[in-house]
A = this chain, B = another copy of it.
Amino acid sequence: MKLHPAALADKTEVLVRFSDVDMMRVAWHGSYVAYLEDGREHFGKTFKGVGYDDYFRTGYVAPVVNLTIDYKQSLKCGDVAVVETRYIPTEGAKLILEYVIYRKSDMAVMATAQTTQMFMTADGEVQYTDPDFFVEWKRRWLKN
C-alpha cells in the first residue's frame, strides 16, 4: 500500500492489551482494526464533525466499505502504539483515511492501513454526493 499525501493528520496512543495478543505472543492481526478505529475516532474529535455521533446527529451513517492493512512488524503485549490518522482528499462522496501505526518506544512502523467510508441515510440510502455536514466539514478544516 502506497500512502497518499494527507490534507489533515492526527495522532493518538493505544495500549496493546493482554487480550489483544495471540498464541504467537504478538497482537492478533484482527486487533489492529480496533486500533484504527481508535485513530479514526480521535481524528473525528480533533477535526470535529466526522465522529460517529456527528453522523447520528445529522441523520447519516458512514459504514466502512473497504479496509486494507499491511502488517510490517509485530506489536507485543504492553507496547504503546501511536496511531497516525490522515485524511486523503478524494472526488467521490466518501471519506478516505490512511493510517500509520507506530511502536511508540522507537517509532518503528508496525502497519499501514486505509479505510474507505461511504455515507448513507439512517434508512440505508447511499449518498452519491457529499452530505451537507461533510461539505461543511471540508470547508471548515481544509485549507485551500
A70 to B66, Cβ gap below 8 A? yes
The answer on a CB contact under 8 Å between A22 and B22 is yes
Which of A1-45 touch B at CB < 8 Å?
1, 15, 17-19, 21-26, 28-30, 33-34, 37-38, 41
Contact with B along A37-79 (1 / 0, CB 8 A): 1100100000000001100000001011111111100100110
Given A24-B61, A63-B24, CB of A18 within 8 Å of CB of B37: yes
Q: Are A30 and B33 in contact (CB under 8 A)?
A: yes
Copies in the complex: 4
Given A22-B22, A34-B30, A37-B30, A63:B74 Cβ within 8 A: yes
Interface of A is mostly: mixed
Report yes or no: B24 in contact with A21, Cβ–Cβ below 8 A. no
> What residues on B are CB-neighbors of A61 within 8 Å?
24
A-B contacts, 5 of them at CB < 8 A, read A23-B25, A23-B52, A29-B33, A53-B78, A66-B70
**19 further A-B pairs in the complex, CB-CB below 8 A; given A23-B52, A24-B63, A53-B78:** A15-B38, A17-B34, A17-B37, A19-B33, A19-B34, A22-B23, A23-B23, A23-B25, A23-B77, A29-B33, A29-B64, A30-B33, A30-B34, A30-B37, A41-B78, A63-B71, A64-B71, A66-B69, A67-B71
